[in-house]
Chains A and B, each alone.
Chain A
Amino acid sequence: MKHIPGVTSAPTTDLPVLLPLDRTRARPPEAMMVSRWLAGLPAWTPLPLLALMLLWPLTAEAAYTYGQAVDALWRWLPFLVKSGFLYNVVISFLAMAIGTAAGAALGLAQISQIAAIRRTAWFVTQLFRNSPWLVLLFIVMLALPFELVIGDTIISIPDWTKAVFGLSLPIMANISEIVRGAVQSVPSAQWEASEALAFNRRQILWMIILPQCIKRMIPPWMNWYAILTMATPLCSLLAVEEIVTLSRQAIEAEDNHPELLVPFYSFIMVIFFAYCYPIARLTVRLERKFAVKL
């Protein structure tokens, strides 16, 4: 390889103009990295996991045979999918729906002409975007009551609805940033041209700016959906019934045989991969398709 000072080795100059760009500063770590990485994996990625799932029980001691371990896994699979993973999907759907609606509103508030609204929206966005998801979940879990008493009727709030709410908060904040970024990515000349045609601000935003950038919001939005889905097992720490919680219970029901741990958790990884991988592939494809110059 050709030796280029400053590229393949440390620069030898002290002229500031030739110093290399500080790439970590120039480009913040992008959320889209998750989808790009996932989509870049080969489709056979889960095969080693599947192999692990089936081979690990070979380590079984005499007391617990390979056949018994595989049999246990086989028995529990339908239950784990139907009563477990399905809940992960439902939680992710609902959290995404709430987060998208709230995030769109918050994102538009971030570009409001009223400074108080703009700053508040910015603060809320930054707060929820940069907080650890688990902490948000715990706060929501503990801050919300477990039941509402209105007169004589008692409405109980199940844990999983609180989990949905807790997960929708960081989604809201990240969607807010997507909306703000997309609106600001439309060249300001579009605003100028619309203003010159006597459109008012609301008309410009809804009729001219948003229709142009809605497409480029879709890939990052899907990216956040994949991240959210992969984050739903966090709910197991709050005892919400989903796949990880149920797997743990299943292993306990099988007398906590240590041979079962790796197969069960490998299965969880495989099923998440099977669900998120197509989404990531589609996300990256759409991203390329929509990467049009205005």
Chain B
Amino acid sequence: MTETAVQPPAWTPDQPIVAIREVRKAFGELEVLTDVSFDVMKGEVVCIIGPSGSGKSTLLRCINALIPINSGSIQVEGQEVHSPHLDKLALRRKVGMVFQQYNLFPHKTALQNVMMAPVHVLKEDKAEVEARAYRLIRKVRLEGKENAYPGELSGGQQQRVAIARSLAMNPDIMLFDEVTAALDPETVKEVLVTIKDLAAEGMTCMLVTHEMGFAREIADHIYFTDRGIIVEHGPPATFFTDAKDPRTREFLSQIL
């Protein structure tokens, strides 16, 4: 057997940080992603919207290799996610992810939740990580809650800890999977403000969201998916007012 070392072309910041090409994903008979292609540039904020079950969350999970794809290609900073030689852990250090159900570790305090991965995965110095964790918790406006357990925090507070936990790995890209869907209306805003701050700092963000007002405000580009394909996309200014496809118009008319 000959092992040819295929060196991926070096990625430069002027190339797409995430390049998705003709991705197809099926769970058994059920085709979730039929043919999805698009690029995300560094520093861009991309919102993916669409009806439930249209494959939005699946797409995010494919980007950090939580679930494999059937065919096509996803490149993150030039690294092929679909490749069998993929270093999953290296990929996941670059890609942070925040979930709908927060998924904090219930047996650890907020501070410990934030510190765990940098200390044990990146093997960074504990004192440095701790200083960073305090900074991040302040950044998500939760100072004073460092020693609270997830069970003692509201949904919105837990979600902000989850964002801080993900940021502690210094990711290049952040994936947000319907992060406000499980929250009370009053706490949605505090999470959205946190994400807005992040986007303003130039973090590359991909959000799956149902918050249309927020998407309109924050996104550089909006993608509308339905039944596994991207039906329509565009910058928010034209997307919301000037939708061409009848499916997009119907969806928007129901939701706006």
A residues near B (Cβ < 8 Å) are 189-190, 192-200, 203, 207-208, 211-212, 294
Contact = CB atoms under 8 A, between A and B. Distances in A.
A294 B105 CA distance: 9
Contact of B117 (A189, A197, A212): A197
A292 to B, nearest CB: 8
Contact of B96 (A196, A203, A212, A294): A196
Given A189-B99, A192-B66, A203-B121, A197 B106 contact: no
Contacts of B162: 193
B103 A199 contact: no
Contacts of A193: 97, 99, 103-105, 162
Contacts of A207: 116, 120
A203 B120 contact: yes
B106 A198 contact: no
A59 to B, nearest CB: 60
Interface residues of B, number: 25
Given A189-B101, A207-B120, A196 B107 contact: no
Contacts of A203: 120-121
Contacts of A199: 117, 120-121
Contact of B169 (A192, A197, A211): A197
A193 B166 CA distance: 10
B181 interface: no
Interface in B76-105: 88-90, 92-93, 95-97, 99, 101, 103-105
B165 interface: yes
A105 to B, nearest CB: 23
B215 to A, nearest CB: 23
B99 A198 contact: no
Contact of B105 (A190, A192, A200): A190
Contacts of B116: 197, 207
Contacts of B93: 198
Contacts of A194: 105
Contacts of B66: 192, 195-196
B16 to A, nearest CB: 21
Contacts of A192: 66, 99, 103
A237 B37 CA distance: 73
A196 B97 CA distance: 6
A144 to B, nearest CB: 42
A7 B246 CA distance: 51
A196 B104 CA distance: 12
B121 A190 contact: no
Contacts of B103: 189-190, 192-193
B92 A197 contact: yes
Given A189-B99, A197-B117, 8 more contacts: A192-B99, A193-B104, A194-B105, A196-B95, A197-B92, A197-B169, A207-B116, A212-B107
B248 interface: no
